[in-house]
Amino acid sequence: MREKHGGERIRAPTMRVMTLTEPLVTSATRTPATKTVLMCRPDHFTVSYRINPWMFPQNPTDTAKAVAQWEVLHDTYVGLGFDVKLIDPIPGLPDMVYAANGGFTLDGVAYGASFTYPERQPEGPAYMDWFAANGFQVAVPKEINEGEGDFLLVGDVILAGTGFRSANDSHGELGRIFDRPVVSLNLVNPSYYHLDTAIAVLDDRPESANIAYLPSAFDEPSLEILRERFPDAIIVTEEDAAVLGLNSFSDGYNIVIASRAKDFERQLRERGFNPIGVDLSELLRGGGGVKCCTLELRA
């Protein structure tokens, strides 16, 4: 099943399943795509409130360590040839480092974020100001949504999460703005409160689109959609998901992942990808990983 722009589920076309006689994809058949991303240096990172199961304000955080780990991620992207843009961090907004939540961009349009919790709500206007100043047409949201945390472009459709943060009505708004099919998925495990913690986009190009995901993060109707649309998806272990291994970022060949997600790393190598592990353990204290720190800019 899949959804029309307004949220109505429709039957997805049957996808061909690879047979045992077909060759596996190797690294020689995968090519990286050019990526432009937005990041925010965690100069003000701390955990001073609790809005997800990962956050424990009573446990001290190390801002300098968070910055050092973030710099490794930043430098990894630069080394891969990404065009990395930066938004200035704002004092009092410790979660601004999780840039993926700041909006969703496609075809030069930026759909702004409208956050669920008051602690993060000032981030929405800050990111929209950056989009406007950097050449994007800004679509101011009417519905609650947390940007690319819950909206993932895969081929010709946008996978959209709901259940904890982004409102279901935002999926219809998203579809109307971008005139793309939007497929709604319901998250049921509070530890995976954003879609990008439960699904990794391995390749977003229509001709080779595929994902990895954690089945226990979704309700059964959503799993039916994922199984039908992505029969060759990677299924990750609970252990790898628990270190936010799925919260990764791919250029179609290189995939930056949590360094502790070892089985996911193995599966990616078997599929011809080049996984690159980074340690963001300090930022994990706020409930974020690689993808959370990465907002893709699609001009």
Tens digit of each residue's pLDDT (9 = 90 or more) over 191-236: 999 999 999 999 999 999 999 999 999 999 999 999 999 999 999 9
CA gap 183, 12 in Å, rounded: 10
CA gap 247, 191 in Å, rounded: 12
Q: Which of 44, 171, 292, 293 is catalytic?
A: 292
CA gap 273, 266 in Å, rounded: 10
CA gap 265, 267 in Å, rounded: 6
Is 74 a known active-site residue? Answer: no
User: For the chain, what are the domain ranges?
Assistant: 31-296
Tens digit of each residue's pLDDT (9 = 90 or more) over 72-100: 999 999 999 999 999 999 999 999 999 99
Q: Which of 5, 44, 74, 194 is catalytic?
A: 194
Tens digit of each residue's pLDDT (9 = 90 or more) over 24-37: 455 558 999 999 99
Q: Name the pTM for this structure.
A: 0.90
Long-range contact pairs involving 64-71 (C-beta distance under 8 Å, separation at least 24): 65/282, 66/42, 66/97, 66/282, 66/283, 67/41, 67/42, 67/43, 69/278, 69/279, 69/280, 69/281, 69/282, 69/283, 70/39, 70/41, 70/42, 70/97, 70/280, 70/283, 70/293
In sequence order, what are the beta bridge partners of 187?
A: 218
Q: For residue 33, give both structure tokens.
A: 């795509």
pLDDT at residue 13 tops 70: no
Q: For residue 279, give both structure tokens.
A: 């340690």
Is 292 a known active-site residue? Answer: yes
Q: For residue 68, give both structure tokens.
A: 């050092």
Count of CB atoms situated within 10 Å of the CB of 270: 12
Query: Are 144 and 124 spatial neighbours (Cβ–Cβ below 8 Å)?
Result: no
Q: For residue 223, give both structure tokens.
A: 């799993």
Q: Under CATH, which number does the domain 31-296 receive?
A: 3.75.10.10
CA gap 41, 44 in Å, rounded: 8
Q: Work out the average pLDDT over 93-112.
A: 98
274 three-state secondary structure: strand
